[in-house]
Amino acid sequence: MKVAVIGTGYVGLTTAVSLAMNGHQVTGIDLDASKVEKLRQGISPIYEPGLDEALKKVLDDGALAFYTDLTEAKDAEIFFICVGTPEAVDGTADLTYLLGAVSDIGKVHSLAPQERIVVIKSTVPVGTGEKVAGMLAGCQGVSVASNPEFLREGSALIDALEPSRIVIGVDNPQAAARMEELYNGVKAPRVITNRANAELIKYASNAFLATRISFMNELARLSTALGTDIVTIARGMGLDSRIGPQFLRAGVGYGGSCFPKDTIALLQLAAEHNIHLSILDKVREVNATQPAWFLEQLCLQLPDLKGKQIAVLGLTFKPDTDDIREAPSLKLIEELLQKGASVKAFDPIGVSGVSKQFPQITYTQSAAEACEGAHAAILVTEWEQCVQLDWKQVYQSMAQPLLVDGRNAWPHQEVKEAGFHYIGVGRS
Ligand code: UDX
């Protein structure tokens, strides 16, 4: 099918590449001319495993092309809207880019009217699909669908090619059939429903995952007080098939572009309908206080951080991405500096963003180098390069052998044997 994808960020680019890999003829549209120029050369503006190679392949095959002007895609049967819906000042989702894209589609449609579907992939408040349908009501033959994405950064391409489910919200069976045709061959359960349900499925999924994490983080605080082990507890819980093992890892809190933004947007949406989502409110509160709780654990061992050197290992909000949005590392570095510590940080690819915010700290070429002379090392992101270290060598190089593991990812038995004092999140 002929498909246009508007917006070439994480979601748009991954969607465009995966659709092209699945045999569709795809046109990627972005307003940013320099980005389009790079994409045409096969250079992805984001780091995402496998994406560069896949992008080059579909460009070479002629299955994907990029433009700044939407009229280049005037023959498209399907228009995907994948633009950002950032958090507005009041916490609601800002729909400026999305509504701009809808109005552009309306203009293009009038140049070349035909049966087509406008698909909203961006995460939007319930009712947005309805609003967009209203805006396009004068466009003969145009249907509006909601088709939320569930892509995890770091494995976005695999998630797009092998999704856990495909959720399609439509208001007519013809549009449902066309969307089924688009995903023909992709093995995944389908949920075909109305637009509002599809929109809420997205927010509810992210809010629930965030809830699991905050639940475990709060439980980890109790586990620390009791001297129990949260990793063993999570395993024991996760073996219950009703609970399942995923998203039970306690740590320094969730970050990224989705959970923080989507949880506040859902709270706001509910508030507009006079519903207080009290559990979600607490989820956010636990997440906001988790970095400070984590630093308290460090301070129990090093009460005065003034003049102490701390190694911060991992800066991105999770491994395998260059994304530092809402990364717990940012809060932790700020707190450490406020307490008078000096910081040496390492991340395989996340340094450039963080160094703009914190030019005063030292960035090293390796995790081991960050630990040299440190009074403590904290693990913030479980990159392999931060987890697999020569512990005996690191032990020799540190001023004080203290490891505080914010992801429960260091081999605690091995590091204890190497002589370290090891503290995890909720670990005995
Ligand atoms: C998330 C959703 O998983 C995805 O479906 C959605 O479409 C976009 O938002 P993403 O933000 O890329 O994806 O990352 P994810 O793997 O979900 O992790 C989010 C945060 O939670 C990270 O900071 C991660 O470190 C943290 N996390 C995750 C935990 O602290 N514990 C866990 O058990 C799992």
- Average pLDDT of the chain to the nearest whole number: 97
pLDDT digits (tens, 9 = 90+) for 372-427: 999 999 999 999 999 999 999 999 999 999 999 999 999 999 999 999 999 999 99
CB-ligand 1 contact for 95 (6 Å cutoff): no
Determine the pLDDT at residue 428. 78
CA 277 vs CA 31, 203, 264, 271, 285: distances in Å: 37, 13, 10, 8, 13
Has residue 91 got a pLDDT over 90? no
Q: In whole angstroms, what is the distance from residue 232 CA to residue 230 CA?
A: 5
CB-ligand 1 contact for 220 (6 Å cutoff): no
- Residues present in the chain in total: 428
Q: Is residue 265 located within the same domain as residue 127?
A: no
Phi then psi dihedrals of residue 230, to 5 deg: -65, -30
Determine the pLDDT at residue 88. 87
Helix axes 195-226, 278-301, angle to 10 degrees: 30
Has residue 363 got a pLDDT over 90? yes
Determine the pLDDT at residue 7. 97
> Taking the CA atoms of the chain, what radius of gyration do you get in angstroms?
23
Nearest Cα residue to 108 out of 144, 76, 63:
76
For 213-240, what is the HEC assignment?
HHHHHHHHHHHHHHCCCHHHHHHHHHCC
Has residue 316 got a pLDDT over 90? yes
Residue 251 belongs to a domain? yes
Q: In whole angstroms, what is the distance from residue 135 CA to residue 302 CA?
A: 59
Determine the pLDDT at residue 375. 98
Averaged pLDDT, 238-264: 97
Q: Is residue 171 located within the same domain as residue 279?
A: no
Residue whose CA lies nearest to ligand 1 atom number 32? 247
Q: Is residue 355 located within the same domain as residue 407?
A: yes
Structural domain boundaries enclosing 160: 2-193
**Alpha carbons within 13 A on the beta-carbon side of 204:** 8
pLDDT digits (tens, 9 = 90+) for 36-63: 999 999 999 999 999 999 999 999 999 9
Place of tokens 């998203």: 247
Residue 315 makes CB contacts below 8 A (sequence gap 6+) with 324, 327, 329, 345, 346, 347, 350, 351, 353, 354, 380, 381
Residue 37 belongs to a domain? yes
Q: Is 57 annotated as a binding residue?
A: no
pLDDT digits (tens, 9 = 90+) for 193-230: 999 999 999 999 999 999 999 999 999 999 999 999 99
Residue whose CA lies nearest to ligand 1 atom number 30? 254
Q: Is residue 180 located within the same domain as residue 214?
A: no
Q: Is residue 106 located within the same domain as residue 229?
A: no
CB-ligand 1 contact for 254 (6 Å cutoff): yes
**C-beta neighbour count of 191 within 10 angstroms:** 13
Q: Is residue 187 located within the same domain as residue 263?
A: no
Distance 388 CA to ligand 1 centre (A): 22
The per-residue DSSP string of 35-70 comes to HHHHHHTT--SS--TTHHHHHHHHHHTTSEEEES-G
Determine the pLDDT at residue 92. 85
Q: Is 339 annotated as a binding residue?
A: no
**C-beta neighbour count of 250 within 10 angstroms:** 28
Q: In whole angstroms, what is the distance from residue 82 CA to residue 10 CA?
A: 9
Residue 176 belongs to a domain? yes
Residue 428 belongs to a domain? no
pLDDT digits (tens, 9 = 90+) for 128-174: 999 999 999 999 999 999 999 999 999 999 999 999 999 999 999 99
Domain count for the chain: 2
Residue 127 makes CB contacts below 8 A (sequence gap 6+) with 196, 199
Last residue of a domain, one of 193, 219, 254: 193
* pLDDT interval class at 90 (50, 70, 90): confident
Determine the pLDDT at residue 56. 97
Distance 425 CA to ligand 1 centre (A): 18
DSSP class of residue 344? E
Determine the pLDDT at residue 87. 83
Determine the pLDDT at residue 93. 84
Last residue of a domain, one of 128, 158, 193: 193
Distance 73 CA to ligand 1 centre (A): 33
| pTM for this entry | 0.95
pLDDT digits (tens, 9 = 90+) for 248-260: 999 999 999 899 9
SS3 content of the chain, % helix, strand, coil (to 5): 45, 15, 40
Has residue 367 got a pLDDT over 90? yes
Q: Is residue 287 located within the same domain as residue 393?
A: yes
pLDDT digits (tens, 9 = 90+) for 59-77: 999 999 999 999 999 999 9
Q: Which residues are catalytic?
A: 258
CB-ligand 1 contact for 215 (6 Å cutoff): no
Q: Is 71 annotated as a binding residue?
A: no
Provide the CATH number for the domain around residue 155.
3.40.50.720
C-alpha of 82 from chain center: 15
Q: Is residue 152 located within the same domain as residue 228?
A: no
Last residue of a domain, one of 135, 162, 193: 193
Q: Which of 212, 215, 254, 294 should be mutated for ligand 1, with most atoms under 8 A from CB?
A: 254
The percentage of residues in the chain with a pLDDT greater than 70, rounded to a whole number, is: 100
Q: In whole angstroms, what is the distance from residue 379 CA to residue 80 CA?
A: 39
Amino acid in the structure at residue 327:
A
CA 206 to ligand 1: nearest atom: 2
Q: Is residue 160 located within the same domain as residue 221?
A: no
pLDDT digits (tens, 9 = 90+) for 178-187: 999 999 999 9
Q: Is residue 184 located within the same domain as residue 246?
A: no
Distance 360 CA to ligand 1 centre (A): 29
* pLDDT interval class at 32 (50, 70, 90): very high
Residue 132 makes CB contacts below 8 A (sequence gap 6+) with 98, 99, 102, 118, 120, 144
Distance 381 CA to ligand 1 centre (A): 12
Q: Is residue 188 located within the same domain as residue 219?
A: no
Phi then psi dihedrals of residue 136, to 5 deg: -100, 15
**C-beta neighbour count of 152 within 10 angstroms:** 16
CB-ligand 1 contact for 153 (6 Å cutoff): yes
Residue 203 belongs to a domain? no
Q: Is 249 annotated as a binding residue?
A: yes
Q: Is residue 42 located within the same domain as residue 150?
A: yes
The percentage of residues in the chain with a pLDDT greater than 90, rounded to a whole number, is: 97
Q: Is 35 annotated as a binding residue?
A: yes
Averaged pLDDT, 266-292: 97
